[in-house]
Amino acid sequence: MMGRSLAFAAWICASLPHTTAFRAPAPTPDVDCFYQERHPHSYRAYHLQNGWLTIDGVLNESAWEAVPFSSSFLDIQGRRHWSQPWFTTQVKMRYDDTMLYIGAYLEETAIWANETKRNSVVFHDNDFEVFVDPDGTTHNYKEIEVNALNTTWNLWLNKPYRNGGHENSTRVDPAHGFDMFGHGFESAVHVDGAVNDATQRLHYWTVEMALPLAQLALHTQQEKTMPPQPNTHWRINFSRVEWQVRVRDGHSYEKIPGIPESNWVWSPQYAIDMHMPENWGYVVFEGREQTPPSDNPEPYFDPEWSHRFVAFQVYYAQAAYYKLHGYYALSWSGEVQALVPEPSSIKCIHSVDIRASSKGQMYTAQVVRIHDTRVAIIRSDGFITVEMRKESDLVAIS
């Protein structure tokens, strides 16, 4: 999706005096520069035609039955990781002019939770989590968590923790923190039995949420275009934290000491870190007149995906270089390229123009993929936009 203009990027770059450019050799035929196999998962959300959803945790309304479940969750590190989920987790989405609706099914035989205070650290329990980045910049995204007692935690992060980001919520600032309560946020959990009762034979719990679109879009470019325009997308992902427990005293549960949690997600993160928004999936807002198809909709492919993918290869290499030297590289040299986690991407980059501060403590890079008219602009704090480029906007590369 379009972010800030090239004029804004040029203003940023003008304050960064050191500039270097790089032109890559032509790629070999065996390199897929679209990186379709790494494209995150997608889901087409259909507008509610009539009425609304009652948020009671039960996913039996016709509006839910009309749309398919997502693919099942997998390990956060990807499908090739040795351990994969032993319980099924799937989601559905719908929307109207004010709300994004989430329905989730979580298979489970030990349904328990301890946290009861709203906006506490819910992932200490088994939980279900939603992450939303409306404009795809990786900044100013929102996170919502819920446990089986319907205890919720909603927060706004100005940028990922890796980039010095911080939580904004009433947990850390009770008086002035971000909070979607009071703006239409609703959640409900359904359990066919009692939570925290090990004598019962349970099989699943379900979650239903109504998330106010305006609050999700707060402090992003999408704040100006509400409700979402038809056939546009937001970045989104879902996570499930699963702790292993044992029965205590014959009737309750406790965590098994020394065993870390498992993290299961909808779209793989390829690292044990949900705060890498560049890997999140896509929710595509279908037009008002579109009705859900009888079979699964076509997957969505973001035309900006490959540009974002290769730009983040530059970002990862620069982050690794900074860790080694204490400053960012001023040129896209062989030493930096050796740190790229996906080496094939180097052949897919037409040019890299780095503008760095004099001491290399920050940079902005313009990354152009081969055979394309777009430029990805990425900063040292991970903020990224993709724009259509003009020749006059590019640094001349001989």
Mean pLDDT of 220-246: 96
Structure tokens at 181: 């309560």
Q: What is the distance between the alpha carbons of residues 220 and 133, in angstroms, rounded to a whole number?
A: 9
How many angstroms separate the Cα of 17 from the Cα of each of 51, 56, 235?
A: 56, 57, 33
pLDDT at 295: 79
Phi, psi (deg, nearest 5) at residue 171: -65, -40
Whole-number percent of the chain with pLDDT over 70: 90
89-95 and 42-47 strand pairing = parallel
What's the pLDDT tens digit per position in 349-384?
Answer: 999 999 999 899 999 999 999 988 999 999 999 999
Structure tokens at 131: 């992450």
Helix (H) or strand (E) holding 62: helix 62-65
Which amino acid type is present at position 47?
H
- pTM here is 0.92
pLDDT at 390: 73
Mean pLDDT of 11-30: 51
Maximum Cα–Cα distance across the chain: 75
pLDDT band with cut points at 50, 70 and 90 for residue 12? very low
| pLDDT(21) > 80 | no
What's the pLDDT tens digit per position in 238-279?
Answer: 999 999 999 999 899 999 999 999 999 999 999 999 999 999
| pLDDT(20) > 80 | no
Torsion of CA 29, 34, 38, 44, to 10 degrees: -150
Mean pLDDT of 297-316: 96
Of 83, 122, 48, give the one whose Cα is nearest residue 285: 48
Phi, psi (deg, nearest 5) at residue 310: -70, -35
Q: What is the distance between the alpha carbons of residues 159 and 176, in angstroms, rounded to a whole number?
A: 19
Structure tokens at 69: 């479940």
- Looking at 22-26, 31-35, 325-329, which range is the least confident one? 22-26
| pLDDT(27) > 70 | no
Structure tokens at 366: 């313009």
What's the pLDDT tens digit per position in 168-206?
Answer: 999 999 999 999 999 999 999 999 999 999 999 999 999
Average pLDDT of every residue of the chain = 92
Mean pLDDT of 104-125: 97
Torsion of CA 156, 160, 166, 167, to 10 degrees: 30
pLDDT at 188: 99
- Sketch out the chain's domains with CATH numbers: 6-35+302-393 (no CATH), 40-285 (2.60.40.1190)
pLDDT band with cut points at 50, 70 and 90 for residue 24? low
Q: Give Cβ neighbours of residue 263 (< 8 Å, ≥ 6 apart).
A: 75, 76, 239, 240, 241, 242, 272, 274
Mean pLDDT of 32-59: 93
pLDDT at 19: 58
**Do 318 and 329 meet the contact criterion of CB atoms below 8 Å apart?**
yes
Which stretches within 211-368 are classed as H helix? 213-216, 305-325, 334-337
Q: What angle do CA 23, 389, 13 make, to 5 degrees?
A: 75
Of 118, 152, 94, give the one whose Cα is nearest residue 292: 94
What's the pLDDT tens digit per position in 134-172?
Answer: 999 999 999 999 999 999 999 999 999 999 999 999 999
